């Protein structure tokens, strides 16, 4: 009795892309809900418009994440204060840039529609 040979795992550019996109969507939704709730609480506590507080929080946090996502990696060491040969300079690989863009877009939508 022969045992079936195991099939090798798939290899390719798009393998695992579905899981990565799912994690990105989950992280973006969680960030949007957290930032929106914090903006609403601050706006309510200070007596301002809740929609304006949510939009402002989305703008501020979204722009901050966008700027952090644009920082280059490698090339300059803050600890040593010297230029090293670590990695080529380029944008970060974390999803900060994309989450920042989504938060700014949500801020525009909330600011224009004023649903609350």
Domain ranges of the chain: 23-113
Q: What's the pLDDT tens digit per position in 11-67?
A: 777 777 888 889 999 999 999 999 999 999 999 999 999 999 999 999 999 999 988
- The pLDDT of 5-15, averaged and rounded, is 78
80, 28 in Cβ contact below 8 A? no
Burial class (CB in 10 A: 0-12, 13-18, 19+), 47: exposed
Structure tokens at 98: 């994309």
In this prediction, residue 68 carries a pLDDT of 84
Going by pLDDT thresholds of 50, 70 and 90, the confidence category of residue 112 is very high
SS3 of residue 9 by DSSP: coil
Please name which of 66, 69, 21, 61 lies closest in space to residue 37, comparing C-alpha atoms.
61
């Amino acid at each position: 009795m022969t045992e079936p040979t195991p099939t090798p795992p798939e290899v390719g550019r798009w393998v695992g892309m579905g899981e990565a996109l799912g994690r990105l969507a989950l992280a973006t939704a969680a960030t949007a809900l957290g930032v929106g709730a914090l903006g609403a609480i601050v706006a309510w506590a200070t007596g301002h418009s809740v929609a304006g507080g949510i939009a402002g929080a989305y703008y501020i946090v979204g722009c901050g994440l966008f700027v952090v996502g644009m920082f280059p990696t490698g090339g300059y060491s803050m600890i040593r204060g010297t230029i090293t040969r670590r990695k080529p300079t380029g944008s970060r690989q974390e999803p900060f840039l994309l989450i920042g863009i989504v938060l700014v877009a949500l801020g525009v939508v909330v600011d224009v529609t004023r649903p609350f």
